[in-house]
Amino acid sequence: MGKNVYSSEVKWSVVKDKMSGELTNREIMEKYNIKNVSQIKTWMKWYRENQIHRFDQPIGK
């Protein structure tokens, strides 16, 4: 099984949807075809900790 690669645009869209409070994690996962809720939590953690440079990094960096 290969890893999914999400563009920085998708990551930012997920963060914006999550911040709006209008969609549940499940709805966000379906909307953006995200396999695991931990992915959303990771991106939110990066956003809260002001590690926004990580949105543009490739996997494993």
> Does the pLDDT value for residue 58 go beyond 80?
no
Token pair 């396999």: residue = 35
Tell me the pLDDT tens digit for each residue of 1-54.
567 789 999 999 999 999 999 999 999 999 999 999 999 999 999 999 999 899
Rounded CA separation 7/19 (Å):
19
Structure confidence at residue 61 (pLDDT): 59
Specify the pTM.
0.86
Structure confidence at residue 44 (pLDDT): 97
